[in-house]
């Protein structure tokens, strides 16, 4: 009975998506360019888009894809509030993504939005099975997920998606003078160092649970406050913060000790927010809960 209920729940989920990026990882300034292009009410399907954006036709489609994947556009294709909060030239907090906290926030958006399935599945589920992995391990996991959902997707498409994910996060190991060096180092998310190549094992990678020195406490708190599973609760179990879908523990790859440090910092920083350990029960409790937008505003005003 339990398996039947789980299958029914999965069947109501959005269909998996492994294409749309035209084989391009998101580049450093693409989201800013795309935001401004969209704000001017230009159309990505217009032939003049290649001139306006200064990229090839396939890259135009890729920029539009990444705006959606990072959950910066609504269902009508208009910029969401978070997009203008970050990228607006006049009031945006970090238009050119110079703050590492913005990268962590965008990473959370990418994983939690589940518009690009591989990122949601990788950080929420695959990593629970394997910290060290090869491309084939990830391929097997994704194919298994497709089969479980009774969906058919091309293995070539999935393989390309795996390549884009790795180019998005893994620092390249290219020889000086390589023609691909500029392209490889322009990947938006590589400075997070979330996924690393294992030097002594060819084509193997690791994504450990560990302390993230560049991850701001305010970004962690913001993601807790906007998570639908947590947003209406007056108390949240530490276990759920570590292990639930789109939790800070999973999305940011934190071990228990590291997450605890963040939770303690949050409780020290914000009045009405308390961390309690009682009879083996660990909880983040809210007597008053700050607005997520206020937490983000305060971070960028520091």
Question: Same domain for 195 and 97?
Answer: yes
Question: Same domain for 276 and 173?
Answer: no
Question: Same domain for 62 and 158?
Answer: yes
Final residue of a structural domain among 165, 187, 206: 206
Question: Same domain for 171 and 250?
Answer: no
Q: For the segment 152-168, what is each residue's pLDDT rounded down to a tens digit?
A: 999 999 999 999 999 99
Final residue of a structural domain among 175, 206, 237: 206
Sequence-separated contacts (24+) of 95-101 with Cβ below 8 Å: 95/32, 96/29, 96/32, 97/28, 97/29, 97/31, 97/32, 97/188, 99/300, 100/191, 100/192, 100/214, 100/216, 101/215, 101/216, 101/218, 101/219, 101/299, 101/300
pLDDT tops 70 at residue 176: no
**Chain-wide mean pLDDT for the chain?**
92
| Of the listed ranges 2-11, 95-104, 112-121, 250-259, the one predicted with least confidence | 2-11
Taking residues 231-249, report their average pLDDT. Answer: 96
- Is 280 a member of any domain? yes
pLDDT tops 70 at residue 144: yes
Question: Same domain for 35 and 105?
Answer: yes
Under the banding of pLDDT at 50, 70 and 90, the label for residue 183 is: low
Under the banding of pLDDT at 50, 70 and 90, the label for residue 180 is: low
- Asked if residues 258 and 211 have their Cβ atoms less than 8 Å apart, the reply is yes
**Residue range of the domain that includes 142:** 2-206
User: What's residue 279's pLDDT?
Assistant: 84
Question: Same domain for 154 and 235?
Answer: no
- State how far the Cα of 65 lies from the Cα of 157, in Å rounded to an integer: 15
- Asked if residues 93 and 228 have their Cβ atoms less than 8 Å apart, the reply is no
Taking residues 266-273, report their average pLDDT. Answer: 96
Beta bridge partners of 273: 286
Under the banding of pLDDT at 50, 70 and 90, the label for residue 280 is: confident
């Amino acid at each position: 009975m339990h398996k039947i209920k789980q299958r029914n729940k999965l069947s109501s989920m959005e269909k998996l998506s492994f294409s749309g990026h035209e084989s391009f990882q998101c580049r450093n300034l693409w989201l800013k360019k795309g935001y401004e292009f969209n704000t001017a009410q230009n159309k990505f399907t217009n032939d003049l888009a290649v001139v306006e954006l200064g990229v090839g036709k396939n890259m135009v489609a890729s920029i539009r894809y990444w705006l959606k994947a990072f959950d910066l556009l609504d269902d009508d294709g208009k910029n969401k509030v978070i997009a203008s909060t970050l990228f607006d030239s006049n009031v945006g907090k970090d238009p050119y993504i110079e703050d590492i906290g913005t990268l962590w926030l965008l990473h959370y958006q990418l994983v939690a939005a589940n518009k690009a399935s591989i990122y949601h599945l990788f950080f929420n589920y695959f990593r629970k099975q394997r910290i060290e992995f090869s491309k084939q391990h990830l391929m097997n996991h994704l194919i298994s997920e497709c089969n479980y959902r009774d969906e058919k997707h091309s293995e070539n498409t999935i393989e390309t998606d795996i390549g884009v994910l790795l180019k998005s996060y893994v620092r390249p190991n290219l020889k000086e003078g390589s023609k691909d060096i500029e392209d490889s180092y322009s990947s938006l998310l590589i400075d997070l160092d979330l996924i690393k190549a294992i030097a002594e094992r060819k084509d193997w990678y690791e994504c450990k649970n560990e302390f993230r020195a560049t991850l701001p406490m305010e970004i962690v708190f913001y993601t807790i406050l906007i998570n639908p599973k947590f947003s209406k609760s007056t108390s949240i179990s530490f276990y759920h913060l570590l292990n639930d879908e789109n939790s800070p523990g999973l999305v940011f790859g934190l071990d228990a000790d590291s997450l605890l440090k963040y939770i303690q910092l949050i409780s020290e920083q914000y009045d009405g927010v308390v961390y309690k350990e009682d009879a083996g029960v660990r909880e983040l409790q809210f007597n008053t809960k700050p607005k997520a937008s206020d937490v983000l505003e305060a971070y960028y005003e520091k």
